Every structure is written in C-alpha cells, then in structure tokens.
Amino acid sequence: MSDDSITQSVVERYASAARNGEQVCTPDGYDMESLATYIPESVLQIANGCGVPVGLGTVRPGETVLDVGCGGGIDCFEASRLTGKDGHVIGVDMTDEMLEIARNSSAAVATNLGYTQSNVEFRKGRAEKLPVEDQTVDLIISNCVVNLAPDKQRVFQEMYRALKIGGRFTISDIVADTSIPNYLLNDRERWGACLSGALYTRDYLHTIRATGFVGVHQVGVAPWGVIDGVHFSALTMTGYKVSVPPSRPSNEERFAGYAVLKGPFKWVIDEYDQTFVRGVWRSIDRKTSDLLHLDPFRPWFLFSKDVVAGKMLKEDDPNLLRILPEDTPCVWKGLFATMTSLFERAEDDDHHLFEGGVPIEICSKTNDVLTTPQYAPFFHILNRAQQPVSGEAVTCSPNGDCC
C-alpha cells in the first residue's frame, strides 16, 4: 500500500466513525462521568484511543498544549480545563468530520468551564506536517495516532520542531514485539484499527531517540491483542527536548561534576552512549548533567562536585540498589521482558543483557526480580504462551545461561 492509500484509508475509517458515532478504539482511563459535566455527548461518544491519557496529568496552568490527532477534541477540552483560561490548546486532525464536531463544541465547553472565550483551536493537518510554528509548544499529547502515520520518523521530527526547549511529549501508541509481516502491512482494515502500522518496540524507541528526544521512558503499558503470533501492546512514553550544547564548549560545559549509578542495573549505557557502572563515580559534562537531572533519571544517580573519578561506593552503601534472584529452581512460563526506559543497553546481576525495545525470554526467578519496584519502571513483560505451561522447575547455571 502507498502512503497516500494508507492515509486515505485511515481518513475514511475515522470519518465514518464521526458520522455514525462509533468508537474505533475504545479509550481507557477516562472519567466519563466527570467529563460529561462540561464536554458534549457528541464528543464523548466518538472518543478513540489505545492508552490511558496520562499526558493530561502533567499539564501545567498557562501552558501551550498540542494534541496530535485530536479527533473530536476530548483530550483538548480536558487540557483546556487543566491549563486554565490563560493556557492555549491546539488540536490537529486530518478528518473534516472529526474537526467539525470538535469546533462545534468549543463554545459550549468554554461556557461550561466559566471562560469568556475558548482557549482551544482546531487546525486541519497531518501528523507528518503539523500546522504549528517552530518551538511554540510546551507539551505534546497524542493517543493512538503515530501508528496510523506511514512516515513515523517525520511525525517525531515534526513534534521535535514544534516543542520549545525544555518541552516534552507524552503519547500512547500501539507497538509490537516483533517486526510486522508484509501481509499485515498491506491490510487496509488493520491499518485503521491501529495494528498494521505499529512499529516493533525496538524500532519505535530508536525512531524517537534518533529524532533528538532524550529521557525517553515508559509511563504505562498494557497488552492490546495478538494476531498470528504478533503481540501488540498499548505503550505510553514520555520524552524531552533539551538544548543542544555548542560545538566549542566552555570549561564549565566540558566538566559539570561527577555522577554515580545507584542501580538497580549492574551497568547501563545512556542515550549519549556513555557507560555508567553501579557504584563507580565518573566525570560528566554539562550536557550529561542536564540529561541525568531530568525527572526520570534522578532517582537512579547520585551527584557530586568534589569526588575522584573512578572512586567506588562501599559495597554496603545504603544508596546502592541491588536486587538478586532467589537461589532456587525456576520455571519457564512463556514470559518475555522488554526494556523500554532511559537506557540503550544494560545488564542485571544475573548476567542478562538488555537492549532497548528487544524482548528476551525470562524465567520465573528473573520475572520476580524485574517486577520489583526498582526494576518495574524499566520493563514491559508479556506472556507469549498461548496456553498454560506445564514445565518443571529447572536449575539455572551459575553463568546465567539458563535465562
């Protein structure tokens, strides 16, 4: 299928949904009773999405918020309430029928919120060419839209262009645990159902990071469905646009202090391809310091201005995070773990090597480790077994070959 054919198919699918009041993808996590107090029923009945709209929970008063693929406007109107009357919300969609419903509802929503005029505007456009000025947006939200776009790299480039320095995105999308086979890529019906256009998680993360976003991390995930052995999940991610350092950095920019990885991983490689070993201090420049001081990184690092590079924390230092598997037999249950947050590569204390977005099979003991509060934020764990597994317990070898 050509890109134009895919886009036309998607437009027709969602235009029909708007005319008939149908939900293509049933959204999750909305308090419809609360939303109904100020959003018209015509908007609520065509709400579509694959993930909990967690991005709305990060809206700050007075911000400019952009909703990519706004549909009938449900997230825009909630963002309008959260930004307050001094904020600004922009909804972009390529379906005329959806935009008509959204625009016709703006005045009523503003009145219900007590605003003298609406702070929401709706613009027609595609995610690959957003009708938004450069560096004018604080937060981008999107719910199950990027997978509908043929050129996903271009979508993230457009998001990056629109965001201010220090801006962020929080988007939900469908991803797959492997590359989508050609027969699904050419299935017109499943493109509109948010499945055929899903990226392999590894490729999804790589596309986001290759655009320039950093601090990319998972904030929510849930199974979505299985087609012919391909497992689809609804993944919600956040990432940041930070300033680009000068080509000739000053002394202060070349050295900004020291950082040490607390754990729980044995070592990690960050988004700038730098290695941090648990408990070992290393010098960092201003660019790395800005990265590691982002909210998702800070819990896993300590910082100092006056230690010596290479100095190690003591083994019993209470700051160190180390989660070891139990010394017991384990069972294979069909579980696979995918690292989805912050790091390009990492290793745990049981010799598992993780690459961002690539699932690896894990046993029951490793699952117990990766579902602890320390590790859980980094992983999506799914069960590929199509029926209950009756395998017996086995003993993992000391070098980790078992898992």
pLDDT tens, residue by residue, 131-141: 999 999 999 99
Tell me, yes or no, whether 94 and 22 share the same domain.
Answer: yes
Q: What is the pLDDT of residues 233-247, one digit of tens each?
A: 999 999 999 987 666
Q: What is the pLDDT of residue 298?
A: 96
Tell me, yes or no, whether 159 and 273 share the same domain.
Answer: no
Average pLDDT over residues 262-285: 96
R_g of the chain computed on alpha carbons: 23
User: Domain containing 218 — which CATH number?
Assistant: 3.40.50.150
Q: Packing angle between helix 201-211 and helix 152-162, nearest 10 degrees?
A: 40
Tell me 109's DSSP state. H
Amino acid found at 74: I
Measure the CA–CA gap between 176 and 204, rounded to whole angstroms. 9
Tell me, yes or no, whether 48 and 105 share the same domain.
Answer: yes
Report the percentage of the chain scoring pLDDT > 90.
62
CA dist 355 → 37, 224, 272, 358 (Å): 45, 22, 15, 6
Tell me, yes or no, whether 336 and 234 share the same domain.
Answer: no
Tell me, yes or no, whether 160 and 215 share the same domain.
Answer: yes
Tell me, yes or no, whether 79 and 149 share the same domain.
Answer: yes
Tell me, yes or no, whether 98 and 37 share the same domain.
Answer: yes
Tell me, yes or no, whether 152 and 55 share the same domain.
Answer: yes
Number of structural domains (the chain) is 3
Tell me, yes or no, whether 332 and 263 share the same domain.
Answer: no
Tell me, yes or no, whether 250 and 225 share the same domain.
Answer: no
> In this model, does residue 155 exceed pLDDT 60?
yes
> In this model, does residue 399 exceed pLDDT 60?
no
* CA nearest to 90, candidates 107, 101, 102, 108: 102
Read off the pTM.
0.88
Average pLDDT over residues 143-149: 86
* Lowest-confidence pick of 24-38, 130-144, 152-166, 228-242: 24-38
Tokens of 105: 């509802």
User: Domain containing 339 — which CATH number?
Assistant: 3.40.5.100
- What is the span of the domain harbouring residue 332? 324-403
Measure the CA–CA gap between 371 and 355, rounded to whole angstroms. 18
Give the strand pairing for 163-176 and 199-200: parallel
Q: What is the pLDDT of residues 350-385, one digit of tens each?
A: 999 999 999 999 999 999 999 999 999 999 999 998
Tell me, yes or no, whether 212 and 264 share the same domain.
Answer: no
Q: What is the pLDDT of residue 15?
A: 47
Tell me, yes or no, whether 122 and 236 share the same domain.
Answer: yes
Which of 292, 322, 352 marks a domain boundary? 322
**Sign of CA pseudo-dihedral 58, 65, 80, 27:** negative
Which of 322, 354, 379 marks a domain boundary? 322
Total number of residues shown for the chain: 403
Which of 200, 218, 240 marks a domain boundary? 240
Q: How confident is the model at residue 117 (pLDDT cuts 50, 70, 90)?
A: very high
